[in-house]
Amino acid sequence: MQAAELSRTFGCVRKVYNLALQARTEAWTLRQDRVNYTATSAMLTAWKKTEELTYLCEVSSVPLQQALRHLQGAFANFWQKRAKYPTFKSRKKSRKSAEYTSSGFRFRDGRLTLAKMDQPLAIVWSRPLPDGAAPSTVTVSQDSAGRWFVSLLCDDWPTMPEPFHTAVGIDAGIAALVTLSTGEKITNPRHERKDREHLARAQRNLSRKAKGDGANRAKARVKVARIHARIADRRRDFLHKLTTRLVRENQTIVIEDLTVRNMLKNRTLARTIADAGWTELRSMLEYKASWYSRDLVVVDRWFPSSKLCSACGTLRGRMPLNVRKWTCVCGTTHDRDVNAAKNILAAGLAVAACGDGVRPQRSTPGGQSSTKQENVPPQRSRAAAQPRG
């Protein structure tokens, strides 16, 4: 019953989002008029009074209003050239979710009840909420594998680890996911390769099913989605544990500014690079360094970390990828990845001292470019949960 009610809410959220997007697009195309959130909110009230859209009154109005706010944010990103023009939500491809603010849910004694529902959600909690924290936003979603999730947003002050004076350089790779300047190599788990055969069988089974809305094809699609979800979950869990360890053990972390999008154009290595998750690794390091007041330095992508001798500074000529060890003219024999990590660390420390030789850091929402913060703001903590059924 709750699943049916939530599915109905997802459909109404998608419908309101698409109607508002169509209205805003037509207003600009025909009259060069910008329609804002206030105007679309008034439109929503009028839509509910029509015979065709009267079903919008059957679900909570809070997720519908939040859909309009999300659309407003999408247009703001478009006007500021941070994103492309908003697109319509698809019933089959778009993410199914509904967001409830404090007026749309009740959270008491660890039990969550959403608006328009008589019974609390049957939830399996991933972890308890911080002591004394009250959720300000609840997001209910369903992924392509059919799994249900509830995410609660609340303010939480992170536990600050003791400051360190250690620094580490990180070289991302394929055989070793990361190589540290200390000489440690962390093997790439290759999560996608472990399930590749299983995934191929499921995809072949899906391709044999006739296209349409048949039950057999839907079951085959869910099997494929579950395999993809299992791969993504294991990869994310591994990266979380790795990045948390690096941030807790080091005060300064130095990485390369890799252009993963361009690297994926290499047909030979694209699948392995995508499985490594370098972009997600960097993203986790960025926000965790901000949380724990660590320094994250990004070295220029054109810095010759692999070809530069970390002992004498001699720059070697061309070095193909199959060369894993090499000997410098000074007589030092280098492991390619360890040498690169040492050079990345040295370049990062030089950057921290004089601020030269790197590209600007990624901008934060507040407009600052550095990941170091003197006063760490409260961490926006999301406690995820999965309802039963």
CB hemisphere CA count around 147 (13 angstroms): 16
Nearest CA to 151 out of 91, 105, 117, 92 is that of: 105
Nearest CA to 340 out of 220, 138, 118, 171 is that of: 171
C-beta of residue 134 within 8 angstroms of C-beta of residue 46: no
Active site residues: 171, 256, 337
Q: Write phi, then psi, for 75 (nearest 5 degrees).
A: -70, -35
Nearest CA to 257 out of 284, 279, 241 is that of: 279
Q: What is the spatial distance between Cα 170 and Cα 341, in angstroms, rounded to a whole number?
A: 5
Q: What is the b/e burial string over 213-231, where b = at least 16 CB atoms within 10 angstroms of the residue's CB?
A: eeeebeebbbbbbbbbbbb
Q: Would you state the structure tokens that stand for residue 158, as one six-digit string?
A: 């992170």
Nearest CA to 144 out of 73, 15, 231 is that of: 231
Nearest CA to 75 out of 88, 66, 84, 67 is that of: 84
Measured torsion, CA atoms of residues 14, 17, 23, 27, in degrees rounded to the nearest 10 = -150
CB hemisphere CA count around 203 (13 angstroms): 8
Pairing of strands 167-172, 252-256: parallel
